[in-house]
Amino acid sequence: MYTLQDDQVALVDAVREFCLDRLAPVAAADDANEHFRMDLFRAMGEQGFCGIPTPEAYGGLGLGYMEYALVLEEIARHSAAWAVTVAVTGLPQIILRTYGDEAQRERWMPGLASGEILGAFALSEPGSGSDAAALKTTAVRDGDDYVLNGTKFWITSGGVADLYVVMARTGGPGAGGISAFLVPAGTPGLSFGRKEEKMGLRSSPTAEVILEDVRVPATHRIGPEGVGFKVALSALDSGRITIAAISVGLSAVATAYAARYATEREQFNTAIIDFQGVGFLLADMATRTDAARLLVHRAASLRDAGLPYALEAAMAKVNATDTAMAVTTDAVQVMGGYGYTREHPLERYMRDAKVMQIVEGTNQIQRLVIARHLKKRYTER
C-alpha cells in the first residue's frame, strides 16, 4: 500500500498521541529497570490497541491486519517492548477466532481484545525451539479434564499474563500428537521460573512457565486433539507480520533520530549529513526501511483478502528484522560515541532489534520456509 486511507491516518495519529503521552515518558526508565506496567497495558486495551483485527462481535475493532501493522509500527517507534506485548496478546485471539468454539470465543476474546486479559503463547521448551514439534509437555486425559505437565521457555508476559495458550502432547511423537489448551493464571500447579535478564525488550517480561499436574477441563482444549501444531503454525504465520511491523517501527525511528542528529551536528563547519560517508549511510537506511514496510503491507493485505500469505509473511519477517538490525547499528555509527551511550535511545533500539531476528521463528528457519515455497512453486511448473 503506497498511501493510507483517511481513517488509517487518523488511527495512527491517535496511537501516536497516546504513546507520546503515556509511553514515551517512561520507556527508557522502564527498560533500564526491567519494569512492566500492567496499568499501561490496561490503558492500551481501553484504547482498542489489543483488539485491532478482532471482530466487533467479540469486543475488537474489526479492522484488518493492515491497520494492525500500522498500529504496531507506531507503538514500536516509542517502545518495541510494548509493541511485542500487544502483538503477543493478539495470538490467543487469532487462535480462538480460527480454531476455538463459540463458547471459548465468547468467554475469552472480549477480555483479550479490551486489555482486561493479558494473553500469552506457550510453545517453546528447553529442548524444542526451532524444532517445535519435538515438545515434551504432556496433557493426559482424566475423565472430563486434562492434566498438564512440562516446562515452557522464553514465554513473553510469562508470570504476568492472565491466560496462556499452551501446546502439549496428547498423542504420539511428532506434530500430529500435539494439542492446544487454554490455561488461566491461578490454575493450581501453574508456576513460573526466573524472569530472563535480556539484552533488549527489558520492560516486557519473559519467563519460564512450569506446569505440574495442572488440571484444566476438556472444554479448555482448542479444537480436536492433534491439531495443536497446526494451531501454533497458523499463529506464527500471523505473528511474523506483526514482528515485521514492529521491526519497521524500530528502523523508522532509528533512521529519523540519526538523520536529525546528522543535520544538526557539524564537523569542519559542515553538517555531517553532507559528508557522503554519512549521507549515503542514511540514504540506505531510509530506503531499506521503506522497502521493508512495503513487504509488510503486502503480507498484511494478502491476509486481509483471505489469500495465502505464509510465504510473504516469511519474506517480510526476514527482510524487516534484518533491516532493523542493520539500520539501528548504522544509526549508532552515525552518532559515533553519543550513539553508544544511554543518553540517547539508539542503543536501546539496537538491543531491541536483535531479538526480532530470533522470535516467531529464527531468520534461518524463515529462509527454509521461503525455500520450500519456492521448491513447491517451481516443481509444480
Helices 346-356 and 228-264: angle between axes, nearest 10 degrees: 150
Give me the residues paired with residue 139 across strands: 148
Q: Which residues have CB under 8 Å from 91's CB, separation 6+?
A: 119, 121, 165, 235, 238, 239
Half-sphere exposure of 344 (CA within 13 A, CB side): 22
360 is known as an active-site residue: yes
Task: Show the domains of the chain with their CATH numbers.
Answer: 6-118 (1.10.540.10), 120-227 (2.40.110.10), 230-380 (1.20.140.10)
Active-site pick, 67, 74, 360, 380: 360
Tens digits of pLDDT across the chain (381 residues): 578 899 999 999 999 999 999 999 999 999 999 999 999 999 999 999 999 999 999 999 999 999 999 999 999 999 999 999 999 999 999 999 999 999 999 999 999 999 999 999 999 998 887 778 889 999 999 999 999 999 999 999 999 999 999 999 999 988 899 999 999 999 999 999 989 999 999 999 999 999 999 999 999 999 999 999 999 998 999 999 999 999 999 999 999 999 999 999 988 999 999 999 999 999 999 999 999 999 999 999 999 999 999 999 999 999 999 999 999 999 999 999 999 999 999 999 999 999 999 998 899 999 999 999 999 888 976
Short-list 348, 21, 350, 42, CA closest to 202: 348
| 112, 42 Cβ separation under 8 angstroms | no
Confidence (pLDDT) at 381: 62
How far CA 72 is from CA of 117, 222, 223, 290, in Å, comes to 19, 27, 29, 16
Confidence (pLDDT) at 50: 97
Question: Could you read off the pLDDT of 60-119 as tens digits, one per residue?
Answer: 999 999 999 999 999 999 999 999 999 999 999 999 999 999 999 999 999 999 999 999
Distance CA 23, CA 247 (A): 18
Q: pTM for this structure?
A: 0.95
Distance CA 178, CA 172 (A): 8
Which residue type occupies 158?
A: G
Coil, helix or strand at residue 380? helix
Tell me the three cell numbers of residue 269.
Answer: 563547519
Burial track 213-249 (b if 16+ CB lie within 10 A, e otherwise): ebebeeebbbbebebbbbbbebbbbbbbbbbbbbbbb
Q: Which residues have CB under 8 Å from 2's CB, separation 6+?
A: none
Confidence (pLDDT) at 6: 93
Distance CA 317, CA 299 (A): 10
Tell me the three cell numbers of residue 246.
Answer: 514492529
| 152, 128 Cβ separation under 8 angstroms | no
